[in-house]
Amino acid sequence: MKKSLGSMPAVFPMPVLMVAAYDADGTPQAMNAAWGTICGMDKVALCIDEDHATTKAVRASGAFTVALADEAHMAEADYLGIATGNKLADKFAKSGLTETRAEAVNAPVIDQFPVTLVCELAEVVQTDHLHAVVGTIVDVLAEEDVLSEEGKIDPAKLGAIIFDQFQSGYYATGAKVGQAWNAGKELVLAAKA
């Protein structure tokens, strides 16, 4: 029997996304955001508060990057979620991370994270219940050591971490347990019979 836990954001897993943009002075701003997702073949949506220094930088610059945090840099990723750029002018520098300007847009690529989506700002969605930044993905950058022999990102090599909203934990991604668009084929065949 299920027990009622009340209203809460009970979705698991949540990604650990590192959002970065240059502010008006050209200073890199970066934050840890778990409330983000792919919302189209070339779009990413981030439900991030409009008051974050990084959100302000995204809106001002019109470009940003989204990196997948990995286990090797969990402390730095967490720091970028704890510290606020609104109170700490050199937040990014104090993280110990470094950045390189993306070639496709005016946005910082955080060097240490293995996969980065490079985005142009497509729109800002503002309603009574939502503030979201939507980006058009113009490029995906990946370290060669996280690629399969076919040149695709290999989750087993990536070492990505995920966020647990239930107990505020980080977890390493696990082993592959099935093949998408295949694991349910027997049920499809059975339903047709």
Residues 30 and 107: beta-carbon distance below 8 Å: no
* Distance in angstroms (rounded) separating the CA atoms of residues 93 and 99: 10
pLDDT class for 189, splitting at 50, 70, 90? confident
Residues 160 and 69: beta-carbon distance below 8 Å: yes
At residue 125, the pLDDT reads 96
Count of C-beta atoms within a 10 Å radius of residue 124: 13
At residue 60, the pLDDT reads 96
Determine the Cα angle at 46 with ends 134 and 151, to 5°: 85
Is the pTM for the entire model greater than 0.85?
yes
* Distance in angstroms (rounded) separating the CA atoms of residues 10 and 166: 7
pLDDT class for 100, splitting at 50, 70, 90? very high
* Distance in angstroms (rounded) separating the CA atoms of residues 192 and 46: 39
At residue 74, the pLDDT reads 97
Query: Domains of the chain, with CATH numbers?
Result: 14-192 (2.30.110.10)
Q: Over the stretch 117-168, which tens digit does the pLDDT of each residue have?
A: 999 999 999 999 999 999 999 999 999 999 999 999 999 999 999 999 999 9
At residue 193, the pLDDT reads 79
* Distance in angstroms (rounded) separating the CA atoms of residues 93 and 56: 18
% of the chain with per-residue pLDDT over 70: 100
What distance, in Å, lies between the first and last C-alpha atoms of the chain? 33
DSSP E strands, the chain: 14-15, 17-22, 28-33, 36-40, 43-46, 63-68, 99-101, 108-110, 115-126, 131-142, 161-164, 169-172
